[in-house]
């Protein structure tokens, strides 16, 4: 029986949120938490999609002669898997148009790494996304798996050629507003300097300065990035002069952060990260959105007491906070304080490979690591 797997990493933004949408530089790191895909050969009548984090029920589908996918829309799993069905339908059609019919398959989408289990009785108990770009990681992993399914070529490494075909489903998922930084991180891996001018995207490899330590903290609530991006655009339209001035300052700070990575200057990068957090707070006040409020504000206050940098990693309000510093003792004190407050520290390492694919040994136990 033919089986294959793919995986694509999530991402954490270090600096450049929001300003990157207007052409500024951003720094993001691919992290060692993955969207994992498995494809298994099956009879044409036995095709299905299952995603355990969203639904334990398998959603049937049929591959049509014109390359479209017919979904069982009256099935109980369809509503919760609808976004995944849209990504799969789009990518399947692209491959059909280029290569012809795809062999029938069953598909398993595992995003456990990119979600957090909420305690019983908490609001929205169950699972919640961590803000690591799960949608983009799934899209990239799906694309890689399907392409190997068609032509058996391994996919991996720094390769931006896939962006054109991936940006369409990605933008639909982001309400047409996303920069693409999630997709590039999932494709390429590593620490990347990212910038975009119009539809042109540039990504260059960077390294974290020696001695800089990073802590990522789950704030306890997820964020709707498309909603915040829509509010950001509304603010730009309503206050163009003030928005332009602040975004210029944010862009300059991001450029300084990038120069610090090139110079291997950990102190300078820490200072840039902390300054950018303050600029995000100012922008949130101007937008009327608590981008740096709640847990983000508490973390920033404690970080300042310890001489550390603190800012949201991503759109803000919820999801992740980033703590950065060169003082190991201060990082230790911050860690103790977080544990005393029962705040979740996410151990995130750097993924250097980006999207990967391979064959599954049917005799091997377990799933690919």
- The two three-digit tokens of residue 36, written as one number: 């994992």
For 51, phi then psi, to 5°, come to -135, 95
Residue 249, Cβ density class (10 Å: 0-12 exposed, 13-18 middle, ≥19 buried): middle
Predicted local distance difference test score (pLDDT) of residue 270? 98
**Per-residue pLDDT at 85:** 95
Is the pLDDT reported for residue 174 higher than 90? no
Whether 126 has a pLDDT exceeding 80, the answer reads no
Res. 49 pLDDT band, cuts 50 70 90: very high
- CA dist 3 → 69, 109, 140, 203 (Å): 21, 14, 18, 32
| 5-14, 217-226, 286-295, range with the lowest pLDDT | 217-226
Q: What is the pLDDT of residue 168?
A: 65
> What would the pLDDT profile of 313-327 be if each residue is shown by its tens digit?
999 998 999 999 999
Asked whether the predicted pLDDT for residue 153 surpasses 70, the reply is: no
For the domain covering 3-207+351-359, report its CATH number.
3.30.230.10
Compare 294 and 175 and report the one with higher pLDDT: 294
Residue 369: band (very low, low, confident or very high) from pLDDT cuts 50, 70, 90:
very low
Say how far apart CA 128 and CA 143 lie, in whole Å: 24
Binned at pLDDT 50, 70 and 90, residue 175 comes out as: low
Q: How confident is the model at residue 160 (pLDDT cuts 50, 70, 90)?
A: low
Dump strand ranges (E) for the chain.
3-15, 26-41, 48-51, 55-63, 69-71, 105-110, 115-117, 127-129, 191-197, 200-206, 213-218, 309-313, 320-325, 344-346, 356-359
| Residue 85 host element (H or E) | helix 82-99
Token code pair at residue 190: 């590593």
**pLDDT value, residue 359:** 86
Highest mean pLDDT among 170-174, 217-221, 247-251: 247-251
Q: What is the mean pLDDT of residues 165-190?
A: 75
Q: List pLDDT tens digits, range 207-238.
A: 999 999 999 999 988 888 888 998 999 999 99
* CATH of segment(s) 213-346: 3.30.70.890
Q: Quote the pTM value.
A: 0.90
Share of the chain above pLDDT 70, in %: 88
Cβ count within 10 A of residue 90: 19
| pLDDT score at 170 | 61
Q: Are 193 and 256 in contact (CB under 8 A)?
A: no
pLDDT of residue 20: 94
Q: Which of 87-101, 131-145, 177-191, 274-288 has the highest mean pLDDT?
A: 274-288
Q: Please tell me the predicted confidence (pLDDT) of residue 350.
A: 96
Binning pLDDT at 50, 70 and 90, where does residue 367 land? very low
Say what percent of the chain tops pLDDT 90. Answer: 73
Q: Is residue 327 within 8 Å of residue 307, measured between CB atoms?
A: yes
Domain boundaries, the chain: 3-207+351-359, 213-346
């Amino acid at each position: 029986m033919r089986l294959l797997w793919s995986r694509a990493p999530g991402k954490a933004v270090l600096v450049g949120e929001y300003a990157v949408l207007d052409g500024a530089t951003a720094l993001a790191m691919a992290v060692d938490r993955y969207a994992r895909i498995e494809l298994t050969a099956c009879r044409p009548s036995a095709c299905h999609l299952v995603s355990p984090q969203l639904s334990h029920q398998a959603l049937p589908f049929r591959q049509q002669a014109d390359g479209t996918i017919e979904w069982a829309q009256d099935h109980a799993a369809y509503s919760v898997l609808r976004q995944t069905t849209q990504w799969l339908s789009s990518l399947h059609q692209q491959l059909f148009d280029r290569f012809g019919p795809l062999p029938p398959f069953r598909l398993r989408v595992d995003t456990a790494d990119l979600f957090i289990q909420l305690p019983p009785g908490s609001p929205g108990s169950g699972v919640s996304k961590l803000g690591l770009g799960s949608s983009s990681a799934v899209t990239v992993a799906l694309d890689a798996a399907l392409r190997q399914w068609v032509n058996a070529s391994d996919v991996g490494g720094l390769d931006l050629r896939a962006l054109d075909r991936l940006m369409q489903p990605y933008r639909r998922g982001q309400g047409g507003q996303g920069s693409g930084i999630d997709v590039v991180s999932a494709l390429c891996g590593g620490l990347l300097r990212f910038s975009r001018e119009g539809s042109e995207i540039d990504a260059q490899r960077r390294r974290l300065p020696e001695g800089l330590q990073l802590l990522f903290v789950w704030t306890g609530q997820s964020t709707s990035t498309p909603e915040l991006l829509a509010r950001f655009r509304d603010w730009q339209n309503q206050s163009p002069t003030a928005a332009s001035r602040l975004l210029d300052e944010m862009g300059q700070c991001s450029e300084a952060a990038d120069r610090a990575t090139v110079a291997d200057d950990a102190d300078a990068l820490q200072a840039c990260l902390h300054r950018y957090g303050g600029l995000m707070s100012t922008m949130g006040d101007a937008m009327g959105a608590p981008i740096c409020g709640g847990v983000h504000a508490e973390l920033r206050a404690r970080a300042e007491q310890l001489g550390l940098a603190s800012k949201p990693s991503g759109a803000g309000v919820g999801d992740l906070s980033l703590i950065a510093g060169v003082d190991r003792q201060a990082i230790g004190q911050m860690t103790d304080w977080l544990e005393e407050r029962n705040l979740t520290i996410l151990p995130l390492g750097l993924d250097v490979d980006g999207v990967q694919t391979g064959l599954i040994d049917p005799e091997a136990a377990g799933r690919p690591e």
